[in-house]
Amino acid sequence: MATVENTSVSTTTSEQVSQILPLELIEKCIGSKIWIAMKNDKEFVGTLLGFDTYVNIFLKDVTEYEYTPEGIKTIKLDNILLNGNHVCLLIPEGSGPKIN
């Protein structure tokens, strides 16, 4: 009969992975360009100025991309405040959708 050893994986301090919370990651993006996809047919690219614990996001120098049956419509905005309830995806340093 074969015996099975109970082995556990242990990590040393040099191998431990540091954990970062999602809001800490977003905080590191302040002042940088960010691409935000919303739950509706809109996406935004701009410079992240700030956010709150609800992930309401404030951007400057914004390009809004809206998907319509005619194609992608773009609008330039100075500033925008996005409702965190509608944010689907955040892409740091993203440049927005490809427009053909």
Which sign, positive or negative, has the C-alpha torsion 89, 61, 80, 56?
Answer: positive
pTM of the model: 0.77
Tens digits of pLDDT across the chain (100 residues)? 555 555 555 555 556 677 888 888 899 989 999 999 999 889 999 999 999 999 999 999 999 999 999 999 999 999 999 999 999 999 999 888 887 6
Q: Which positions ≥6 away from 97 have C-beta within 8 Å?
A: 43, 65, 72
